Amino acid sequence: MTARGARHVRELTAARAADHDAAVLFIAQRDDVDAISPEDDIDPAFGVALRAAERAGVRLLAYTCQIALDHIALGHPVPVILPEPG
């Protein structure tokens, strides 16, 4: 769990409410990821903050990456999926 992560997302939501552009960028540290979703069972506060951010207009971006011994490269975009917690 990361209270800091939820706090940062709430700060981005406030920035968006003040008419600033705001985005959350997730980087999956592998290239075989199909989507990104919050782990509500592990950190429900982060999931709540992320859903509120999306509703406020904060852009949610996610990319894979390729890691090698001598470099790291941005991969392809993947969707951020926000199922309702259940």
User: What are the tens digits of pLDDT across the range 5-37?
Assistant: 999 999 999 999 999 999 999 999 999 999 999
CATH number at residue 67: 3.40.1350.60
Domain that holds residue 61: 3-77
User: What are the tens digits of pLDDT across the range 32-65?
Assistant: 999 999 999 999 999 999 999 999 999 999 999 9
Instruction: For residue 44, give the amino acid letter.
Output: P
Contact 35, 78 (CB under 8 A): yes
pTM: 0.89
How many Å apart are CA 72 and CA 52, to the nearest integer? 32
Q: Is 21 exposed, middle or buried (0-12, 13-18, 19+ CB in 10 A)?
A: exposed
Identify whether 41 is part of a domain: yes
How many Å apart are CA 85 and CA 83, to the nearest integer? 6
Identify whether 35 is part of a domain: yes
Angle (nearest 5°) at CA 53 between 62 and 31: 10
Identify whether 73 is part of a domain: yes
